[in-house]
C-alpha cells in the first residue's frame, strides 16, 4: 500500500490533508522522516504520525521441535495440534507441515511473504529450499533407490515427477533424504513407489535452518536474524525479527 493511502485509512486526516502533513515532516517510516506519498508500506512497516505509532506489527519466526502425535494444524476436534504448544498461536501459521506421526523441525511465522518463499514449489530448475529428513523404513533400502530418487518419482494423481532428491543410506533401514519441494505425503509416496514403507520421519533442517539440538520435543525458540535472512534477504522482509527471550 502507498503511504498516502495508508495514512488516509489509519489516521483521522482526509485525503487533502495527507500531502501537507508529509511535506511538513510529520510522518516517520521505520524511524525516518518520509515525505514521499508514493512510498510503499509493507506488512511490518512502522508508521508514526506526530510521534504516535499508527501501526507496528512485529514479524515472528519460531522453530519448534515437533513431537509425534501432534497435527500441523491450527485447530482439530480429535487430535492435539502444534498450536497448543505455542503461546502466540493466534497470530501464527505453519510454514511447511509435518504428518501427525512425523517429528522434528517445524517453522511457524506471521510473515506470509517469507513463508511462501520457504514452502512454495520452485518454478525454475535449480531453485527450491532443501529440506533434510532422517527416514526409517520397514524394509532394507535397495541399491537402486538412490537412482530412482535422483531421476524423480512420477505421481499420477498430480501428473508430475518429483524433483531430483538426494539419498544417503546410513544403515540398512535408515537414510538421510534431501528434497526440494513439499508435495502431499511426498516422502512416504516416494518410498512406496520403490516398494518400501516409511516407519519414522524426522525433519532436521530447512535450508540453513537446522533443528536446535537443545530443543526437547515440544519446545520452541525464536529464529535468529541470520536464520531468517537465510531464506529471504533481510532487506526484503522489513525490520529484524523479535529477539529470542
Confidence of residue 127 (pLDDT cuts 50, 70, 90): low
Residues 44 and 93 placed together within one structural domain of the fold: no
The answer to whether residues 89 and 45 belong to one domain is no
Do 159 and 51 sit in the same domain of this protein? no
| 222 has catalytic annotation | no
Strands (E), 123-240: 131-137, 154-155, 160-161, 166-171, 174-179, 198-206, 209-210, 220-222
Q: Which of 30, 43, 57, 99 is catalytic?
A: 99
Q: Are residues 37 and 98 in the same domain?
A: no
Are 103 and 215 in a shared domain?
yes
Q: Is 206 in contact with 96 (CB distance < 8 Å)?
A: yes
Average pLDDT across the chain, whole number: 87
155 in any annotated domain: yes
Q: Are residues 212 and 174 in the same domain?
A: yes
Give tens-digit pLDDT for 175-233: 999 999 888 899 999 999 999 999 999 999 999 999 999 999 999 999 999 999 988 64
Based on the fold, state whether residues 41 and 13 are members of the same structural domain: yes
Whether 110 and 146 map to the same domain: the answer is yes
Please tell me the least confidently modeled range out of 73-82, 124-133, 209-218: 124-133
- Is residue 82 located within the same domain as residue 134? yes
Q: How many folded domains does the chain comprise?
A: 2
The pLDDT tens digits of the residues spanning 89-108 come to 556 888 889 999 999 999 99
Based on the fold, state whether residues 51 and 156 are members of the same structural domain: no
The mean pLDDT of 61-76, rounded to a whole number, is 92
* pLDDT tens digits along 134-178: 999 999 999 999 999 999 999 998 999 999 999 999 999 999 999
- Other beta carbons less than 10 A from residue 210's beta carbon: 13
Band of the pLDDT at 112, cuts 50, 70, 90? Answer: confident
Distance CA 33, CA 220 (A): 37
Q: Rounded to two decimals, what is the model's pTM?
A: 0.76
Give the range of the structural domain holding residue 31, as residue numbers without chain letter.
3-55
Amino acid at each position: 500500500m502507498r503511504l498516502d493511502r495508508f495514512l488516509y485509512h489509519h489516521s483521522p486526516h482526509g485525503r487533502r490533508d495527507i500531502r501537507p502533513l508529509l511535506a511538513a515532516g510529520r510522518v516517520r517510516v521505520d524511524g525516518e522522516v518520509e515525505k514521499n506519498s508514493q512510498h510503499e508500506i509493507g506488512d511490518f512497516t512502522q508508521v508514526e504520525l506526530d510521534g504516535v505509532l499508527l501501526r507496528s506489527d512485529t514479524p515472528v519466526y519460531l522453530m519448534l521441535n515437533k513431537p509425534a502425535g501432534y497435527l500441523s494444524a491450527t485447530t482439530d476436534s480429535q487430535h492435539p495440534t502444534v498450536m497448543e504448544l505455542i503461546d502466540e498461536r493466534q497470530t501464527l501459521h505453519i510454514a511447511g507441515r509435518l504428518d501427525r506421526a512425523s517429528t522434528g523441525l517445524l517453522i511457524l511465522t506471521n510473515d506470509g511473504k517469507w513463508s511462501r518463499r520457504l514452502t512454495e514449489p520452485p518454478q525454475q530448475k535449480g531453485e527450491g529450499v532443501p529440506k533434510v529428513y532422517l527416514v526409517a523404513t520397514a524394509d532394507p533400502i535397495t541399491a537402486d533407490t538412490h537412482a530412482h530418487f535422483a531421476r524423480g518419482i512420477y505421481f499420477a494423481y498430480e501428473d508430475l515427477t518429483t524433483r531430483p532428491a538426494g539419498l544417503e543410506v546410513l544403515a540398512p533401514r535408515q537414510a538421510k533424504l534431501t528434497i526440494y519441494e513439499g508435495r502431499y505425503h511426498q516422502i512416504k509416496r516416494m518410498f512406496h513407489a520403490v516398494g518400501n514403507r516409511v516407519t519414522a520421519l524426522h525433519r532436521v533442517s530447512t535450508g540453513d535452518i537446522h533443528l536446535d539440538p537443545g530443543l526437547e520435543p515440544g519446545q520452541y525458540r525464536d529464529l535468529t536474524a541470520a536464520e531468517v535472512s537465510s531464506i529471504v534477504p533481510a532487506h526484503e522482509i522489513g525490520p529484524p525479527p523479535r529477539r529470542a527471550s
